[in-house]
Structure formats: C-alpha cells, structure tokens
Amino acid sequence: MILRPVLIAVCAACLAACATAPELQAPALDLPVAWRLEAPWRVGQPEDAASKGAWWQVFGDATLDALQQKALQGSPTVALAQARLLQARATLAATSASALPQLGLNERAARQKISANRPLSNYASPNFSTVQNELSVAMTVNYELDLAGRVEYSTAAAQASAAQAAAELENTRLLLSADLAANYFNLREIDDELDVLERATGLQRRALELVSSRRELGAASGLDVAQQQALLETTLVQLELMRRQRGQFEHAIATLTGMPAPQFSLATDRQERTAPTVPLGLPSDLLQRRPDIAAAQRAMAAANAQIGVANAAFYPSITLGSTFGVDSRELASLFDAPSLLWSLGVSATQSLFDGGRLRANLEFSRAGYAATAANYRRVVLLAMQEVQDGITGLAALRRASLQARTARAAAQRVLEMTTARYDGGLSPYLDLVTAQQALLASERQSVQLLGQELVTSVFLIKALGGSISD
C-alpha cells in the first residue's frame, strides 16, 4: 500500500517525458551583409551592452537635454509602461512561487450540536444528539510534482513576459524621446523661418517707403507701390501661419513632457545647429540594439513556453500533501498525545474526456507562437526599412543643403544688382520684387532643409535603437 503512490508517480514521470515545448527558433531572416551607403557615411562599431541612454546629447542643445529629462520623469506614457513592467514582474514572482512547497496553518474553534436524526452509519448503533466543543490546529504542506513541466513552462513564460515588458519600457522611452526631439527641432526650424520672414518684412517695409517716396517724386508709378504693398502683406500672412504652427509644436512638447499646454512656453533660441554624423553598424546589429525587436523576440519566447504549458495539460497533475496537527474537544487536552492527527498522501488528476478542449488549447498556443514569429519578422523588416530610409534621406538632404546655400548666395547677388539697376532707372520695379521673392524663398529653403536634416537624424538614431557608437 505504501509503494502504490510511488509507483503512480514513476509512471506519470515516464508519461510526462514527452510533454515538452518545441525548441525556440527565430524565423529565418535574409539580412543584408551591409547597408547601402552614400557619402559621407561611415560604419561604426556598436557595443551590444552599451546603454541606450541620452542619445540626444549628440546635438549639443542644453534646452533639449532639459526637456528630455523632464519628459522621462513626467510623461504618463512612461509611467504606464513602468506600471506594466511592475505587473509583469509581480506575475513572475507569483508564478515562480508555484515551484516551491506551499505551507499553511489551519485553526478551528467551534461549539456545535450534532443532530440525533442524522443518517445512521450502523443500524445496530443509534445516533444521539450531542453538544460539544471542537478545537483543532493543523499545519498543511502541499507540493506539486512538476513531472509534465507545467510549472517550469509557466515560469519561463512569465520570465519572457517580464523581459518583454522591460523591452517595451525601453521602447516607450525611445519613442518618447524621439518624438520630443522631432517636435523640438521642428519648432526651432520655424523659429529660424520666422527670423527670415521678420527680416524680410523689415526690408519690404523699407522698400515700400522707398517706392512711395519715388512715386511722390514722380519716379515710380502707383503700380510699383501696389506691388510692394502686396508683397509685404503676403509675407505678413506667412508670418501668422508660421506662428500658428509654432504654437502647435510647443503644445505637443508640453504634452510630451507631462505639462498642461496652457502653462508651457518655450522661448526663441536661435543658436547655430548642425546635424550630427551618425555612425552605422551592420544590419544584424539591429537584432540586439532595438528594444522593439527585443520585445518581439521575448513575446516569441513567452508564446513558445505556452505551448509547453498546453502540452503538460495532457498528462497527470500529481500533488503531494501532508497534514500534521491536533484535534480535541477540550483545550486542556488539545496537545495530548491522543489528540494528535496526521495524514500523508498523493493525489493525481488526469483528464479522460474533455470534448477536445485540451487539443484546442494546444492548437491555440501553436497559432499564437506563429503569430509572434510573424510579428518578429515584420518588426525586423520595418527596422531595416527605417534605417535605410534614414541613410538615403540624410545623404540627399545634405546634398540639397549645399545646393541651397549656393542658390541663396546667388539670389543675394541678384537682389543687390537689381536694386542698383532699379535705383539707376535701368530696371522696372517688377524685377526688384521678383529678386526679393527669390531671396526670401532661398533663405526659407535653406532653413527648412536644415530642420529636415535634424529631424531625419533623430529618426535615424531612433531606427538604430537609440544608441550611437563611434
């Protein structure tokens, strides 16, 4: 009789030997050997263990640094991701506890009356009604023999989910800091455009005064005055539209930093800015540097472990249980030897017929793993697309910026020559207006291209995982 529970456990262990999850394998990815580079790109040497920390400091902007710190501390989006990480870690702690014996202490104190009319246990022995006390203290110990691996796979799934939550927190921080930097540089680009427009309106006002004076002297026509007035009014309209866009970016920055938009303002800061050179690693480095790829990989591991949990449900669940305590009707005799009680046993539960429920759960787990594997491949492909877009986009923007500077210098010379010819009566006023508009367009284009370079640099750093290695 004593050997029977042991024999049952051994048989169950043999049966459970097949209850395993499949080996975790990442989907095959056709990663390129290197990025398709254009000058002036260079290949960096990333360190996989390097912190994905304050990457925005490469721009050398103290205001941006302060805003980033405020955002990481006050953003509700980051707080939400942190709370989810704490939940995942708590779930892991609770799941890991299943691998340990569970101890309990039961106490009971009652005074009860037993019915004389209860069913008889023996026809020769009549029942009597009694009123008596019952005092009991017992300690219980229960331990599940994880022969089929249910607890092991459940713990592995919880570990992967906790790691996934940690990676998602890092990804949330990366997205937040990238969004903040992009909005900040868009706002600074508008500041530069506003400066160009304000200087242009100053020139246009002086030109309007000049042409009005020439008209009074009979050297200019009313058409010249009207043309200059129209140009000035058009520029003023553009100024108001740019101020509106600046307000929208300012409000977005306020929200990202966790502040109410009406209470936030950002002063104009027209310091010289340049886009940093971003060194690149190999395409395979993305698998270790991007937190969203890490999160997708952890999701695969969690889904794979769930297959093991679903497999384990086909095999017996065996639990060892024991009780040791005392039971008496009087407190004085509660701890006497005759009051001692104990039990030691093993229980096994095996599903014999469930209408296909366990098989459906297993198929559901397998499909869930297939979905996470497909998502992992999708995230990696999108990551490579984002990096390659950033590489080619920045190279094109830098070439365009060089051409824009040349065009701006040429437009400045044209305006100077046209002004001199108009003052000498050799050119009509329409040529002067045209030259002013061309210079204004060239200056705004140069400012816009620099802003696009800065924003594209931000998105490229984000696409590389938020770390820069020299």
Secondary structure (H, E, C), 294-313? HHHHHHHHHHHHHHHHHHHC
pLDDT at 256 over 90: yes
Q: What pLDDT is stored for residue 120 in this prediction?
A: 87
Residues of the chain with pLDDT > 90, as a percent, come to 39
Q: Which sign, positive or negative, has the C-alpha torsion 388, 393, 396, 399?
A: negative
Is it the case that residue 34 has pLDDT exceeding 70? no
On the question of pLDDT at 259 being above 80, the answer is yes
Cα separation, 467 vs 455, whole angstroms: 16
SS3 of the chain: the string is: CCHHHHHHHHHHHHHHCCCCCCCCCCCCCCCCCCCCCCCCCCECCCCCCCCCCCHHHHHCCHHHHHHHHHHHHHCHHHHHHHHHHHHHHHHHHHHHHHHCCEEEEEEEEEEEEECCCCCCCCCCCCCCCEEEEEEEEEEEEEEEECCCCHHHHHHHHHHHHHHHHHHHHHHHHHHHHHHHHHHHHHHHHHHHHHHHHHHHHHHHHHHHHHHHHHHHCCCCCHHHHHHHHHHHHHHHHHHHHHHHHHHHHHHHHHHHCCCCHHHCCCCCCCCCCCCCCCCECCHHHHHHHCHHHHHHHHHHHHHHHHHHHHHHCCCCEEEEEEEEEEEECCHHHCCCHHHEEEEEEEEEECCCCCCCHHHHHHHHHHHHHHHHHHHHHHHHHHHHHHHHHHHHHHHHHHHHHHHHHHHHHHHHHHHHHHHHHHHCCCCCHHHHHHHHHHHHHHHHHHHHHHHHHHHHHHHHHHHCCCCCCC
In this model, does residue 17 exceed pLDDT 60? no
The three-point CA angle 164-169-170 to 5° equals 100
Q: How far apart, in whole angstroms, are the C-alpha atoms of residue 442 and residue 191? A: 16
**Lowest-confidence region among 37-46, 68-77, 343-352:** 37-46
List of residues 6+ apart from 303 with CB closer than 8 A = 365, 368, 369, 371, 372
Higher pLDDT, 231 or 31: 231
Q: Would you say residue 23 has pLDDT above 70?
A: no
Predicted confidence (pLDDT) at residue 261 exceeds the cutoff of 80? yes
- pLDDT level of residue 387 (50, 70, 90 thresholds): confident
Q: In the prediction, which pLDDT does 25 show?
A: 61
Residue type, 72: L
pLDDT at residue number 118: 87
pLDDT tens digit sequence for 394-432: 889 989 989 998 999 999 999 889 888 877 878 887 788
Is CATH 3.40.50.10140 correct for 24-98+150-314+357-463? no
Mean pLDDT of 94-107: 90
Name which residue leads in pLDDT, 149 or 67: 67
Q: What is the pLDDT of residue 49?
A: 38
Residue 36 pLDDT greater than 70, yes or no: no
What number is the average pLDDT over the span 340-363?
91
> Among the listed ranges 85-89, 209-213, 277-281, which one has the minimum average pLDDT value?
277-281
Question: pLDDT-based confidence at 52, cuts 50/70/90?
Answer: low
Residue 40 has pLDDT above 60, yes or no: no
- Which residue would you say has higher pLDDT here, 4 or 92? 92
Q: How sure is the predictor about 217, in pLDDT bands with cuts at 50, 70 and 90?
A: confident
pLDDT digits over 171-205, tens only?
A: 999 999 999 999 999 999 999 999 989 888 888 88
Label residue 44 by pLDDT band (50, 70, 90): very low
Residue 32's pLDDT band (cuts 50, 70, 90) = low
- Lowest mean pLDDT, pick from 156-170, 264-278, 282-296, 316-330: 282-296
* Residue percentage of the chain with pLDDT more than 70: 86
pLDDT at 329 over 80: yes
* Residue 444: both structure tokens together: 């705004």
pLDDT reading at 345 higher than 80: yes
pLDDT, residue 380, reads 87
Query: What is d(CA 206, CA 216) in angstroms, rounded to the nearest whole number?
Result: 15
pTM: 0.78
286 pLDDT band (50/70/90 cuts)? low
Maximum CA extent, the chain: 140
Domain boundaries, the chain: 24-98+150-314+357-463
**Confidence band of 254 (pLDDT split at 50, 70, 90):** very high
Residue 281 is predicted with a pLDDT of 64
Give just the sign of the alpha carbon dihedral 224, 228, 231, 237: negative
Q: How confident is the model at residue 43 (pLDDT cuts 50, 70, 90)?
A: very low
Give the chain's mean pLDDT: 84
Mean pLDDT (whole number) for 135-145? 91
- Region 260-273: what's the mean pLDDT? 87
Question: Which residues are bridge partners to 140 per DSSP?
Answer: 104, 323
